[in-house]
Amino acid sequence: MKNSSKKNNNLNKVAYYPGCSLNSTAIDFNVSVKKLLDVLDIEHIEIDDWNCCGTTPANNIDEELVVLLSARNLMIAKNMGLEDILSPCVSCYNKLYKAAYYINSTSELKNKREEKIKASIFKTLKDMGFDTGQELNFKVYSIIEFLYLKKAEISRKFRELKQVNNENEEYSILKELIPVCYYGCALLRPKDALRFDDVERPTSMEEILKEVGIECVDFSFKTECCGAILSLSNKDSVLKLSGEVLDNALENNADSLIVFCQLCQQNLDLRQKQINRFNKTRYNLPILYITQVLGVALGLTFKQVMLDRLFVPIKSPGRSKVKSHNNDKGRLN
């Protein structure tokens, strides 16, 4: 893994950009991230009056629009005295990252076309009342990169709790799981821009989880796309692609998936019964956010990290028939 942050900064205070889904259907992700940051003593200050990043629709209709929407959020953070931005949602993260590329003072833009876009963005930001003349030096972090940089703290905190965790029933339930780490497509691509881990065989999630005693099995679909936001316009594609991710997890004898993207999480968890219907399977795989798992390992309860809100619940180990279920892969036909 490359060292992505060269800044002399211990990252104990960040501007927090939750994004729209984390305030709604991914509330469990939002809550578990914030509780985890609290446990790690990291101050997180929500960006005031933030707006939607525009996500895929804005990106697909106009590059300038999508950069502009995120640039406004960055400028508000700057006004709050913050330039380190943490965005757990991977779609928002990509948009904020792109906006930082366009507006950072040290960025070297590639060509005249990009210069033109930058000029146009600065003009609109100025009209909104932002000071575009000042030095801007934003650094945008995805949750995985951020947690990776905080690995030592996570490890230390976990060692402090070792005694407690030996008797922590909820932690033992998680420790019993045989998870795979699913990265999805959006974090590590495109390769030049965002890479902080191997594009094809990333290991950062496994490395972080190892620090809290959670061992994961490998699988081949780590960075395949789940179908993402096509769930709202071409659902069948999503049910097929997400189904293949679950197929491959089971082929590797996993009984659960650990993710960090709420779109992956929703497609795999909420839509798992649709996937089963579409592909004639009867899978029953809980899909957990990495922040929920880390939270429980660092002393939080299932309820606090909202693990009680999964659509496909975690089986408690006593009644689990994971092994036999895996052998026939749950195929109906």
Partner 1 sequence: MEKTNNDTDRIRNEILDYIEPKIYNCYQCGKCTSSCPLSDVFEYKPNQIIRLVQSGKIDAIINSNSIFLCLSCAICSSRCPQDVHIATIMNYIRNEAWKSGRFKIKSIKRFYKTFLRIVSRTGRSYEPGLLMSLNFLSGRLFNDMDLALDILKKRKIRLLPEFVKERKQITKTIKKYM
- 190 interacts with partner 1 by CB under 8 A: yes
Measure the CA angle with vertex 240, ends 280 and 249; round to 5°: 80
Residue from the set 58, 209, 298, 307 that interacts with partner 1 by CB under 8 A: 58
Q: Which residue's CB is nearer to partner 1, number 46 or number 328?
A: 46
Q: Which residue's CB is nearer to partner 1, number 57 or number 213?
A: 57
Which of the stretches 26-34, 136-144, 204-212, 289-297 binds partner 1 when contact is defined by CB under 8 A? Answer: 26-34
How far is the C-alpha of 183 from the C-alpha of 212, rounded, in Å? 19
Cβ neighbours, 10 Å, residue 308: 12
And the tokens for 23? 């305030």
Alpha-carbon distances, residue 194 vs 16, 53, 191, 233 (angstroms): 19, 18, 6, 28
- 111 interacts with partner 1 by CB under 8 A: yes
Min separation Cβ 180 and partner 1, Å: 18
Roughly how many angstroms between the first and final C-alpha of the chain, as a whole number?
43
Measure the CA angle with vertex 302, ends 298 and 303; round to 5°: 120
Which of the stretches 68-76, 205-213, 247-255, 294-302 binds partner 1 when contact is defined by CB under 8 A? Answer: 68-76
Q: What are the φ and ψ backbone dihedral angles of 196, each rounded to 5 degrees?
A: -130, 5
| Residue 181 CB-half CA count within 13 A | 20
Min separation Cβ 138 and partner 1, Å: 19
- 220 interacts with partner 1 by CB under 8 A: no
- 27 interacts with partner 1 by CB under 8 A: yes
Residue from the set 61, 328, 329, 331 that interacts with partner 1 by CB under 8 A: 61
Binding site for partner 1 (CB under 8 A): 20-21, 23-28, 49-52, 54-65, 68-69, 72, 110-114, 124, 128, 185-186, 188-191, 199, 223-225, 227-230, 232-235, 237, 241, 270-271, 273-274, 309, 311
